[in-house]
Amino acid sequence: MDCAELIYLETITGAPWTGMRFANHGGCPEHKKIGTLCEAIALSFKAGFNLLTSDLDCPGALRCLGFKQNEEKMAAHIIKETGADAECIRNIIERSPHMEKAVYKVNLGGTDKPELCAGYISSEAGMKLLRQWQMTYGTGLATELSSFMAICSAVVAACKNNALVFSMGCPESRKRGGIAPGQLFAAIPCTMVTNMMEGKSSCRHMNTSVRPAGTALSNSRK
DSSP state of 212: P
Q: Which helix (H) or strand (E) holds 82?
A: helix 71-82
Taking the C-alpha atoms of residue 100 and residue 102, their distance in angstroms, rounded to an integer, is: 7
Residues 115/217, Cβ–Cβ less than 8 Å: yes
Mean of per-residue pLDDT scores for the chain = 84
Per-residue pLDDT of the chain (222 residues; tens, 9 = 90+): 468 999 999 999 999 999 999 998 766 667 788 999 999 999 999 999 999 999 998 888 998 999 877 677 778 878 887 888 888 888 888 888 899 999 999 999 987 689 999 999 999 999 999 999 999 988 888 877 787 778 999 999 999 999 999 999 888 889 989 999 999 999 999 999 999 998 765 554 443 333 433 333 433 343
pTM summary value: 0.82
* Secondary structure (3-state) at 189: strand
Q: Give the residue extent of every domain in the chain.
A: 4-219
Taking the C-alpha atoms of residue 101 and residue 152, their distance in angstroms, rounded to an integer, is: 15
Q: State phi, psi for 156 to the nearest 5 degrees.
A: -65, -40
Those residues whose C-beta lies under 8 Å from the C-beta of residue 26, and which sit 6 or more positions away, are 52, 53, 54, 104, 105
Q: Would you state the pLDDT for residue 212? A: 37
Q: Would you state the pLDDT for residue 50? A: 92
User: Could you tell me the CA-to-CA distances from 165 to 102, 114, 162, 196 in Å, in that order?
Assistant: 21, 16, 9, 15
Q: Would you state the pLDDT for residue 210? A: 33
